[in-house]
Amino acid sequence: MPLKVTDVYDKPGTPTAFIRYKGIWDMQDLYQTMVDWFRRRKFKFYERVYKHKHPSPFGVERQYVWRAERKESEYMQFIVDIYYHIYDAYNVDVVMPDGAKKTMVKGRLWLEFKGNIQYDWEKRWNENVFYAELKNFFNKYILRKKWEQIWFHQLWTREIHGLIALVKERLKMESEGFEHRYKSGVHK
């Protein structure tokens, strides 16, 4: 039976993490902080979709689809996918503790975080079926332990949960905190 593209094990992934928030937040600050975090972590950041829907009586609806990529080696790269949905949002003026006025957003927020590892991102091993079989074997049986024991923690715990902790901090959520921060090592 010929090898199909779906048979090739070259993109193992993490679970999806969700955040839902309803209240007031500083959209500009949240957006900039998240993008800046990717920049500091040396990710290449792409805003793949930006949708601004016609405002309903309840407010504005916006959707963002983000992708961030970082090449770890010649063969493997980390990919972080974020789905960002704001609805029933409208601007409100907020008086800060120092008396200054600031415009913030009041509404609902839905965030999804998911990560993947992309093996063979240069697509060197897709030229023929034999190479693809070799790649499949290498990914499935030789690299698998590395994915399970090292790269998964780096991507899921350090990168994705690091970002989630940052978002929770910016939204001032009660569950803020990041106890797993040193799980994949103290050197970032």
Residues that bind other proteins (CB under 8 A): 15, 17-24, 156-157, 161, 164, 168, 171, 173-177, 179-180, 183
Q: Which residue has the tokens 């993947």?
A: 116
In 3D, which of 21, 13, 70 has the Cα closest to residue 46? 70
Q: With respect to other proteins, which residue has the nearer C-beta, 63 or 157?
A: 157
Which residues are CB-contacts of 143 (< 8 A; sequence separation ≥ 6)?
Answer: 119
Q: With respect to other proteins, which residue has the nearer C-beta, 74 or 169?
A: 169
Q: With respect to other proteins, which residue has the nearer C-beta, 71 or 180?
A: 180
CB of 173 to other proteins, least distance (A): 5
Q: What is the largest CA-CA distance in the chain?
A: 71
Q: Which residue has the tokens 């023929």?
A: 128
CB of 183 to other proteins, least distance (A): 7
Q: With respect to other proteins, which residue has the nearer C-beta, 15 or 99?
A: 15
Bridge-partner residues for 70, per DSSP?
Answer: 78
In 3D, which of 21, 33, 28, 41 has the Cα closest to residue 175? 21
Q: With respect to other proteins, which residue has the nearer C-beta, 30 or 171?
A: 171
Read off the tokens for 41: 């972590």
Q: How many CB atoms lie within 10 A of CB 24?
A: 13
CB of 22 to other proteins, least distance (A): 4
